Structure 1
Amino acid sequence: MGFPGTWMTESESVVYRVVPKCACSSIGQIMFFSDHGRFFDGDIHDATGGMHKWSIEASQKAIEANVKAHKSYAFTCVRNPYARILSSFFDKIAGIQRNGKRYRGNLVPQLVQKYGIEVGSPEDNFDFDQITSFRRFLLFARDTIRWRRPMEPDIHWSAMSGHISTFICNGGQYDKIFFTEKFNEGMQQVLDHIETPVPVDLAKIPKFNESEGHGPKRAHKVSEYFDDLSRHLVWEIYKKDFQLFRYDFDDPDNKMPVGEIDLDEVHAKLGA
């Protein structure tokens, strides 16, 4: 199995387990900058050099040796499950991707046909019923996760605990898991624990949001997208995420965590 979704700086100063929709573009660019003193020109997910990634075959031995010996500080980042699944919908389903096409080719037409989802288009200024379409998308997301139909679950809406657990189950150990909602504070704590070839001043680092500007803007507050059925589905899909990462299930509008993450508990429950 190895360490899918794991990135490491070339200097091996730090190891990061990517969790999609949780500031991964910003984190990747900070890691790249900390080695090279410049940002990667383009989306960091497209970088095939200047950084070790598990998806690059030549990087796998170095990552595996480092992680199994816990040679470097290892971390990841989490986000409120309500906000994360909404972001996945607006970016991947309703939005147009960087290449000017819809995400995963025929996925959106399939959703329109099978689940009655509408997503609008740039031509009509993305004019569609966001709440109805999002709730139908949530049914689809649940079906992919629960029954792997009509397709395997996508990394952007599968549970954070699933991503995070592969690292632990295959022999990795986290030193830090921080919140997207407290990004600067959490990222600074990571930087304080590592030595980088190039010093990083977080105050001068821009935010890298690769999904911004490609689709419709969210028109309502978070809670308006989640009726009783939607919240039931969210609990079914993300129960572990709420519990382990201390997010507020009862109030979808409260994006902030309600407690601190217990790393020992995360390792015990996700490593089993």
Structure 2
Amino acid sequence: MGFPGTWMTESESMVYRVVPKCACSTIGQIMYFSDHGTFFDGDIHDSTEGLHKWAQEASQPLIEANVRAHKSYAFTCVRNPYARILSSFFDKIAGIQRNGKRYRGNLVPQLIQRYGIDVGSPENGFEFDQVRSFRRFLLFARDTIRWRRPMEPDIHWSAMAGHIGTFINNGGRYDKIFYTETFNEGMQDVLDHVKTPVKVDLAKIPRFNESEGHGPKRAHKVSAYFDDLSKHLIWEIYKKDFQLFKYDFDDPDNKFPIAEIDLDEVHAKLGK
């Protein structure tokens, strides 16, 4: 199994377990910058050098040796499950991707046919009933996660606990899990614990939101998208995420956590 979704700086100053839709583009660019003094030109997910990634075969033995020996500071970042799945819907389902096409080719047409989802188009200014379509998408997301039908769950809406747990299960240990909602404080704490070849001034780092501007803007506050049934589905999919990362299930509009993450609890509950 190894350490899928794990990135490490070439200097081995830090190790990061990517969680999709949780500031991963910005974190990856900060790691790249901390070694090279420049940002990667393009989406950091497309880089094939300058940053060790588990998806790059040559990086695997280096990442594995580092993580198993806990040689470097290891961290990840989480996000409110309500906001995260809404972001996934607007980016991946309703939005047009960087390549000018729909995400995963036939996925959106399949959702339109099977679940009655309408996502508008650039031609009509992405005019559609956002609440109705999102709730139908939520049924689809639950079906993929619960029954792996009509397809395997997508990394962008599968539970954060699943992503984070693979690192622990295969012998890794986190030093820090911080929140997207308080990104600067969390990322600064990581940087304070590591020595990097290039000093990082977080105040001068831009935000790399690779999904921004490709689709419709969210028209309502978060809670408008979640009726009782939707909340039931969200709990079914993300129960562990709420419990382990201390987000407020009862109030979708409260994006902030309601307690501190207990790292020992996370390792105990997500480990084998």
TM range (shorter): over 0.9
Name the counterpart of 2:147: 147
1:130 is aligned to: 130
In the alignment, residue 55 of structure 2 is paired with which amino acid? S
Instruction: Supply the distance in 2 between the matched residues of 1:45 and 1:149 (Cα, whole angstroms).
Output: 27
Alpha-carbon separation, structure 2, partners of 1:6 and 1:119:
33
Give RMSD over aligned pairs: 0.3
Distance in 2 (CA, whole Å) between partners of 1:155 and 1:117 is 20
Please state how far the C-alpha of 1:25 moved relative to its aligned partner.
Answer: 0.3
Deviation at 1:136, TM superposition (A): 0.2
The corresponding residue for 2:166 is 166
Residues 185-238 of structure 1, C-alpha deviations (whole Å, 9 max, x = no match): 000000000000000000000001000000000000000000000000000000
| TM-score, normalization by structure 2 | 1.00
Deviation at 1:253, TM superposition (A): 0.2
| CA offset digits 1:127-160 (Å, max 9, x no partner) | 0000000000000000000000000000000000
The CA deviation string for residues 224-259 of structure 1, in whole angstroms up to 9 with x for no partner, is 000000000000000000000000000000000001
For the residue of structure 2 that corresponds to 1:77, the secondary structure is strand
Q: Which amino acid aligns with 2:45?
A: H
CA distance in 1, matches of 2:210, 2:222: 21
The answer to whether 1:27 aligns with 2:27 is yes
Distance (whole Å) between structure 1 residues aligned to residue 117 and residue 48 of structure 2: 35
Unaligned segments of structure 1, at least 5 residues:
none
Matching of residues 27-46 of structure 1 within 5 Å: 27-46=27-46
Structure 1 stretches of 4+ moved >4 Å: none
Aligned residue for 2:191, secondary structure, equals helix
User: Identity of counterpart residues, as a percentage?
Assistant: 86
- Rounded to whole Å, the distance in 2 between the matches of 1:56 and 1:110 is 32
Structure 2 unmatched ranges of 5 or more: none
Q: Distance in 1 between matches of 2:118 and 2:55?
A: 33
C-alpha distance after superposition, 1:2-60 (max 9, x if no partner): 00000000000000000000000000000000000000000000001000000001100
Q: Deviations over 1:78-102 (max 9, x none)?
A: 0000000000000000000000000
Amino acid at match of 1:81: P
Query: Could you tell me which amino acid in structure 2 is paired with residue 30 of structure 1?
Result: I
CA distance in 2, matches of 1:77, 1:128: 32
Equivalent residue, structure 2, for 1:218? 218
Q: Show the 5 A alignment for 1:32-181.
A: 32-181=32-181
Deviation for aligned residue 1:115: 0.2
Amino acid at match of 1:70: H
Amino acid at match of 1:207: R
Corresponding position of 1:2: 2
Secondary structure class of the residue paired with 2:184 = helix
Q: Secondary structure at the match of 1:131?
A: helix
Paired residue total: 272
SS for the counterpart of 1:76 is strand
Instruction: Supply the distance in 1 between the matched residues of 2:130 and 2:47 (Cα, whole angstroms).
Output: 33
